Amino acid sequence: MAWTVADIPDLTHTVAVVTGANGGLGLETTRALAARRAHVVLAARDQTKAAAARADVLAAVPEASLEVVPLDLGDLGSVAAAAQRIVDSHERLDLLVNNAGLMAQPHRRTVDGFEMQFGVNHLGHWALTAQVLPALLAAPAARAVTVTSTAHLYGRAVDPSDPHLERSYGPWKAYGQAKLANLHFALGLQGTFNRAGVAARSLAAHPGLAQTDLQSRSVREHGGAVARFAERAQARTGMPADRGALPQLRAATDPAAPGGGFYGPRWGNNGPPVRKPLLRTAGLSAAIRTLWRVSERETGLRIEVPRWG
């Protein structure tokens, strides 16, 4: 039988942070977690949209426990402030869903000078995870879920000599690199947990083709034949956002989901959420080590877990 939100266990006393919670997959993830009694922190850049998202969830789940925290993943100062606010407000963090992201944008830079897609999709989440890690490790069995995309299949591993694609930028090339980095980050974080012997789990998920604003924003801001094709495909065959959110919800809440697990739609871009095999595993360990070095160098933040016991 297909996994649905009805399979999410009771989450009373659970504290969850969802990035990009003001719309699309993030909003649906927030709604589902709140309906199962989690306290959900909506971490989002646009505070007007975040307030509207909070009202939307409360309209469907009047008893929802919600908190809004400003977070701009393209600004390490904002990330640090958001992380500090979260750890100051909560002794422990049970669930972190690294959901927010950009797709196929024109060449731009973050506040800190990073290529925008790599900066927001990966480095911002790296920095957030690094700075809320003590709260995650304080939970008895925390999970970090990082959302990638089928675009990771055409992405290239990060080149430490050119992580921001200064030599050869392309909107889809940058998106593929960022989404592959998301997957490598999730797997590398699980390796870190394993080596430390802690109970925390790191998982990855991809939504397939979901009807959110991601494709439309790419068309508005970049255009191009590929973006327009993706937008048309989304409208014709994409899943509603609530179904597109199921893989990350399963990764976040299924008691049987293992650390290092990767979840997505059964039929590639559509279907119920299932555990997916990892492809392109040649050179995986080296790519993860390189990503770790680049991420530490660019953000100045390390992800280290003291060995338990």
DSSP letter string over 113-162? S-BHHIIIIIIHHHHHHHHHHHHHHHSTT-EEEEE--GGGGT-----TT-
Tokens 């390390």 map to which residue?
Answer: 302
- In terms of phi and psi (left: phi > 0; alpha: psi -120 to 50; beta: otherwise), the region of 113 is left
Closest CA to 141 of 251, 37, 255: 255
Residues facing residue 68 across a β-bridge: 42
* Beta pairing class for 201-205 and 262-265: parallel
Given 154, 169, 175, 263, the catalytic residue: 175
Phi, psi dihedral angles at 306 (to 5 degrees): -60, 140
Q: Angle at Cα 186 formed by Cα 182 and Cα 187, nearest 5°?
A: 120
* Beta pairing class for 239-240 and 210-211: parallel
Q: Is 154 a catalytic residue?
A: no
Residues noted as catalytic: 175
